[in-house]
Structure 1
Amino acid sequence: MAIGTSEGSSVFIGPVTAATDQATLEGLTYVEIGSVESIGEFGPQAQDVTFTPLKGPSVQHLKGAVDNGMLPIVCARDPLDAGQIALAAAAATKYEYAIKIVLADEADANDTPTTFYGRGPIFSARNNVGGANDVTKRTFNAGLNVFFEEPSEAVA
């Protein structure tokens, strides 16, 4: 059985890129984003396109354009972390950046983890100060205009 927790997973930001293929995204240099608490839901989802025929009993659902999602990355705010500094700088631009997510989902020490590669703009770098006993956090949101998944692989 190869199920597990998200503990040990990591997120990275790469350079500005116009890459549209997985091989190019894999070959880029990335900086790890430190103190990541959670990575939100992401991945391809088709839009629901509906049509209601005048002579039909029900709404028809068709599969429309695919949206790879908005990737929320929640971190304990660390103004000295190179990855968070890079994300904050990226949020101040209109350019598209490479993103890499590596899950800790290997079945054993011989296997490879699932790795996701994406490209898109960084939309925000919002702070959440909270109360006296809260960790100050920062949430970055990355749009995924290009998205690839390299599945975990069992190595004998």
Structure 2
Amino acid sequence: MAISKTAGSKIYISPVSVDPGNYNGVNDAAALALFEAIADWVEVEEVEDLGEHGDTAEEITFTSVSDARTRKQKGARNAGTKTIVVGVDPLDEGQVALADAQATDFNYAFKIVRNDARSASYTNTVEYFIGLVTGEAVNQGAQNNIVRQTFPISINTKIYRVLSALIESP
């Protein structure tokens, strides 16, 4: 097992809205096939921070009168809100696609390609999800700052991962 760095990772958005129900209502293999069929991925460039994401289960509790013990179970899962921070580039198609997505009430497909291949013989891990871009705050900062823009993405599916793997020889 090896750790990996974030540097060199990339995030993409498909500029065409999608219905998360089409992904949530099928098995993982079918959902991955839907993601892999998307041909119009646009890279978001000048990314400073890819944020975090991942499932957290809601805690469900029941307290029994007879033994005064609280029992806990897992409830609905929430993949979170991923916050992307970019250095503003008004000519970057990916940043424009994020801003356009924010102006709608629709969900969009996202793809993250991690920079975690162990060697040229391995693929990088790829993650897919569907989410709503819910904002586009601009941080102009002080005199010696790069203008940054923050795009929160509320994730509405599980995170589908294709882990780094050895490339099979033909």
Please indicate the TM-score interval, normalised by the length of the shorter structure.
over 0.9
**What residue in structure 1 maps to residue 81 of structure 2?**
70
- Matching residue within 145, 148, 163 for 1:151: 163
**Where in structure 1 are there 5+ consecutive unaligned residues?**
none
- Matching residue within 92, 97, 112 for 1:101: 112
Residue 149 of structure 1, CA deviation: 0.9
Equivalenced residue count is: 156
Q: Secondary structure at the match of 1:134?
A: coil
Residue 56 of structure 1, CA deviation: 3.2
TM-score normalised by L of structure 2: 0.86
- Matching residue within 117, 120, 142 for 1:131: 142
**What residue in structure 2 maps to residue 26 of structure 1?**
36
Alpha-carbon separation, structure 2, partners of 1:80 and 1:151: 32
In the superposition, relative to structure 1, how do residues 80 and 56 fare at CA in structure 2: closer, same or farther (>3 Å)? farther
Q: Secondary structure at the match of 2:151?
A: strand
Q: Secondary structure at the match of 1:141?
A: strand
1:100-150 superposed Cα distances (whole Å, 9 cap, x missing partner): 011001111110111011112111111111111121111111121123111
Structure 1 position 87 matched with structure 2 position 98: yes
**Where in structure 2 are there 5+ consecutive unaligned residues?**
24-30
**What residue in structure 1 maps to residue 18 of structure 2?**
17
Structure 1 position 7 matched with structure 2 position 7: yes
Alpha-carbon separation, structure 2, partners of 1:130 and 1:91: 22
